[in-house]
């Protein structure tokens, strides 16, 4: 890697959010950082539930020696705050501005950096390798900082305009031109999932936590069958928006009975945009 010249990604405050300017920035740069998007008790709730989730996944894998250590596979399995986040209108509106109100969660995982270490995200990668003509976006994602993102604790590298690249940029080029996602906790990085990025290295003695949610079109398959993953979730305890985003309205019938059920009982009631 070449000697790094640190360039920090531009940030705007939530009060300065403008839908039209936001979509232009996504089209041009591939991403936009908005500060103060999530505030209040839910930030600590998310962080505490995430800590517990990391411990439970270590128990599942019988230790820390697995490739995705510190990257929880499916956060909503471990706490209601992850589900509650999906009904936050300020948080979800920029996503729907790009993907439409019918979009659903494709994946929902963490991107935490252990002390004095890194994680699997440190490779140069993109979260969507599907290319469709006419700039039709199949996936769009967010990264919510639960701690301040700093150079010292591994702020993510992001390459502006790289959502137009079909192949991975050379490593030297990537690190020479990438920006760093330095941002205070509660900030959200909204991004085209074709943006090339890489996690940094946490050189501090404390964890740095964040969650990543990828959204897709309602008619597309999720990374995992979320309604089945959540099993006996009591849907009455959650906002309709959260239930919709989790894909409960976009399930395909699994039997004749489900297919021919009265409209109010059918699983696929999601309007497609």
Assign 96 to helix, strand or coil: helix
pLDDT of residue 89: 97
Q: What is the pLDDT of residues 220-263, one digit of tens each?
A: 999 999 999 998 899 999 999 999 999 999 998 999 999 999 98
Q: What is the pLDDT of residues 2-37, one digit of tens each?
A: 456 789 999 999 999 999 999 999 999 999 999 999
Q: What is the pTM of this model?
A: 0.94
- Average pLDDT for the chain: 93
Between 166 and 243, whose confidence is greater?
A: 243
Q: What is the pLDDT of residues 86-95, one digit of tens each?
A: 999 999 999 9
Q: What is the pLDDT of residues 48-69, one digit of tens each?
A: 999 999 999 999 999 998 888 8
Are the C-beta atoms of 170 and 176 separated by less than 8 Å?
no
**What is the 8-class DSSP label of residue 105?**
E
């Amino acid at each position: 890697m070449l000697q790094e010249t640190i360039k920090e990604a531009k940030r705007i405050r939530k009060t300065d959010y403008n839908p039209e300017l936001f979509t232009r920035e996504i089209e041009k740069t591939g991403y936009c950082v908005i500060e103060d998007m999530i505030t209040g008790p839910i930030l600590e709730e998310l962080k505490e539930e995430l800590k517990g989730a990391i411990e439970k996944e270590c128990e599942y894998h019988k230790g820390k020696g697995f490739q995705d250590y510190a990257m929880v596979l499916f956060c909503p399995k471990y706490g209601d705050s992850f589900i509650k986040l999906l009904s936050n209108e300020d948080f979800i509106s920029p996503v729907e501005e790009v993907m439409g109100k019918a979009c659903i969660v494709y994946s929902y995982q963490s991107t935490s950096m252990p002390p004095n270490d890194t994680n699997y995200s440190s490779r140069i990668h993109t979260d969507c390798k599907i290319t469709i003509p006419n700039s039709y976006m199949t996936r769009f994602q967010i990264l919510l900082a639960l701690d301040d993102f700093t150079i010292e604790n591994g702020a993510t590298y992001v390459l502006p305009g790289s959502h137009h690249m079909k192949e991975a940029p050379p490593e030297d080029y990537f690190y020479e031109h990438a920006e760093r996602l330095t941002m205070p906790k509660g900030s959200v990085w909204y991004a085209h999932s074709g943006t090339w990025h890489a996690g940094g290295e946490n050189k501090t003695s404390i964890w740095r936590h964040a969650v990543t949610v990828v959204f897709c079109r309602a008619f597309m398959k999720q990374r995992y069958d979320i309604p089945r993953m959540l099993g006996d979730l009591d849907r009455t305890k959650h906002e309709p928006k959260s239930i919709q985003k989790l894909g409960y309205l976009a399930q395909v019938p699994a039997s004749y009975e489900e297919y021919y059920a009265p409209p109010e009982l059918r699983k696929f009631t999601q309007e497609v945009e």
